Structure formats: C-alpha cells, structure tokens
Amino acid sequence: MIIPRPRELAVLGGTIAYDPDLVRLEPPDPTLGPEGYRLRIGPTAVHLTPGGPAGQFYARQTLVAYGERLPLGEIEDRPRFPWRGVMLDVARHFMPVDFVLRMIDHLAAHKLNVLQLHLTDDQGWRLEIKRHPRLTEVSGDHYSHDDIRAIVEYAAERFVRVVPEIGLPGHVQAALAAYPHLGNDPARRLPVWAEWGISPHTLNLEESTITFFEEVLDEVVELFPGPYVHVGGDECRPGEWEATPRAQERIRELGLSGAHAARGWITARMAEHLRRHDRRLVYWYDTDDGPSGATTMTWLDEESGPLATLEGRDVVLAPHRRTYFDYPVQPEPGPFAPDRVLTLTGTYHFDPPPEPPGAMGRIIGVQAQLWTEYLPTPADVERQTFPRLCAFAEVAWGSPRDYPDFLRRLDPHLARLAAQGTVIGPLIP
C-alpha cells in the first residue's frame, strides 16, 4: 500500500503488472475537485480520470507508489485540505538549492503542495534584494533571484506552491545588522545574531522603514507568483518601543493604544501593500492583532485554530506539539523542554478540529515545521523529517485513520525512500 492511503478504495481481488503504457487518460471530471482523481484498474487497462492537472499528477504518483503490481479495482481520491504544507527554515542554517529541490520531491511524493521558505530571521537574511544589497552581504549564503526562479519553476512542475516568509517586525536582527537605520537606535551597530532564542530588537515605526520593506516585498512578489506572502509577525518584544522616546512619539502620532499595538500596525501596513499586488498576507498567530483578511497560522496550541476562524480569518493549523519536526522523537538531553517531544504516533493522531458553526471553510490546511536552529545540515533535516512526514501526509490528505495499517505500509515505504538515499530517522512508533 501507499502513503498517503487513498480515501476511497474498492479492491476486486487480483493484480496486474504496472506498465505506464496501460494507462488511458479520460476527460477531466470537475466534480472530483482540482486535485482529485479516479482510477479504474482492470485486467487490461488503467483508466485515469483527473479532476484537473494536479489530480492527474497525484493519480500517477499513486500508480508509481504501488510498485510493480496494481490491485484490480477502483480508487477515487481527493484531499481534505487545499493547503498541505511544510515550512523549511533556511535562515538559521542555510540549505543549498539542490536540497530545497530534494525537499520539493519529498513533498510531491507525499501529495503535499506547499513549501514555505523561512528566508529571514535574526541569524540570517537569505534572499537577494537588489534594491538593498547589504541584506545578504552581511549574512553570507543566500539565494539569488535565479536560484529562486529555478526553485519556483521546479516546484510548480510538481504542483507545489512556494510561499516566501520575510519576518517582521521582530526576528529582524540580521536586517538591522545590514541597515541600522531600520532600528530603534540607528547609531547602534548590531551583528547578525549568533545566538538562538528571540532577539529583543525590532523595527522602528518610521514611515521610511515601512517604505523599505514595501520595496523588499515588491521584489518578493516578482519572484514568487503565488497568492500568499508570509511576514512572520510572531514573538515580537515591545520593550524597545516602550523604552525609546521616538517610538513613543510615533505611537502617539499614529493614535495607537500603546507599544503592544505597534506590531499590528506594521503588519497591517504590509497587508495593505500586498493587497495592491493582489497578494494575501500570512502570519504566525500569537494574538488576535493580525490584519483584517490575513491568513493565520496557529502554532501555540490546538485550540487557537477554530477560535481564529471566528475572527473571520482563514487558518492553517500548525500546533507545535503536533507539527514541529525539530522536536526530538523521544525524551533526550538537549535544548528542548521535556514535554516538547513529537513521536510518530503523536504526529499520526493529530486530529485537525472542524470549523465552528458559522466559519465553515475557514480552516484551509495544516502545516509541518522544520526549524533549523539545531539542524545544521541537510542530513539532519531529513533525519528529523522521516518517518514523521509520512504520518503527517496522511493527516493532511485526510486518509482513513488506522495506525496499525499505517505501520504495515510504512516499512516498505521507508525502504523505498532509503533506497533513494533519503536519511531516515529512528522508527519509534
């Protein structure tokens, strides 16, 4: 069997040898949805009916995943969520282009369709911005415009959308190291941060700083054609705004209720600018101060998602205790709190909650995260990814939930991945 398991599967008994020449492509059936498909597997032919181009791609992925023998019968399959994502942090530790492409292959093979690239943080700015070149000059390794175009094109061929993340107004020390005038103390010279955690330094509230980041986003939307741009928005400490006379003056000028409201003002300005580009802002949900109409990623707990839908927001569920693949798979000495362990069964049994009445359709997806503070190499990232990504793929697709059946299917699936050179972490159910 395959991962993720088809949602509807009728097996007649018997098999046929898989041969791509046996596949007969039928006219699309829009009732299947753009990512859905139907396979009728008979003794002499396989009839493939897609809902759309993505559905055809996923149907062929299913046929390949079955291996040399196909079961006679019918498969009708479609995903539960339109957003089935993985976030890869390339800011804390840079990941080379060939590994990003490899991660796209992993996503496509597991019927996942969003790769969020966490491109900036306190420890690095990894995206070339031609208008402001010092952003990458001070950070070293980064992606050129040509690199990004290659990544986006490669992903699109596999029906994966790349969502860029440019973090602000906190997690910006690398930007302040390049351009001190963006900070609350322009005379101060900060380094690119060499520590982990949350830097206390934030953007100032000047109109010139808003203009600077509007210019950054102008280049971002040219490189990333998708409808979403993530701007971070989380873990922003208000201390500098509280302690800086000029920030306090600006808070009064803007009519804000206090320093705590400055983050929301900045993200709202970014949302307004992105709307002019026909893009939607995405942000990490700490509080309910996100801009109107933005898409929120709820990461603190499993309860925030349904609550955020009642605020009129589209929601991507990303609760850290279920989706943070940088967490260890069992208790061990290290930087994480003892309760921050994510087992394979914990991943598999993540049960995305339904929307509350009146907010139907607001939960648009789920996303797994690969933060790289403690994952310095591609091999480290893959080791933390597998086998938990296999369990997450079933959650995201909405496959039938049978854990013993999943474990039976997992062994041959991991063997196939290992044969392709994938680094597999410990299998601890």
Would you please indicate which residues are annotated as catalytic (active-site) residues? 121, 171, 235
Query: Rounded to whole angstroms, how far apart are CA atoms 54 and 60?
Result: 10
Long-range contacts of 30-38 (CB under 8 A, 24+ apart): 32/76, 32/78, 33/78, 33/79, 35/78, 35/79, 35/82, 35/113, 35/159, 36/76, 36/77, 36/78, 36/79, 37/62, 37/75, 37/76, 37/77, 37/78, 38/74, 38/75, 38/76, 38/77
Q: Exposed, middle or buried: residue 215 (CB in 10 Å: 0-12, 13-18, 19+)?
A: middle
Residue 203, SS3? strand
CA distance 231 to 171: 10
Which of 240, 121, 216 has the alpha carbon at shortest distance from 171? Answer: 121
Give the largest Cα separation in the chain, rounded: 78
The distance from CA 345 to its chain's CA centroid, rounded to whole angstroms, is: 21
Spatial distance between the Cα atoms of 213 and 197, rounded to a whole number of angstroms: 23
Cis peptide before 34 (omega within 30 of 0): no
User: Are the beta carbons of 78 and 7 closer than 8 angstroms?
Assistant: yes
Nearest one of 319, 269, 276 to 296, comparing CA atoms: 319
CA-nearest of 324, 347, 426, 331 to 394 is 347
Residues 299 and 345: their CA atoms lie apart, in Å, by: 19
DSSP class per residue in 212-258: HHHHHHHHHHHH--SSEEEEE--S---HHHHH-HHHHHHHHHHT-SS
Q: What share of the chain is helix, strand, coil (3-state, %, to 5)?
A: 35, 20, 40
SS3 89: strand
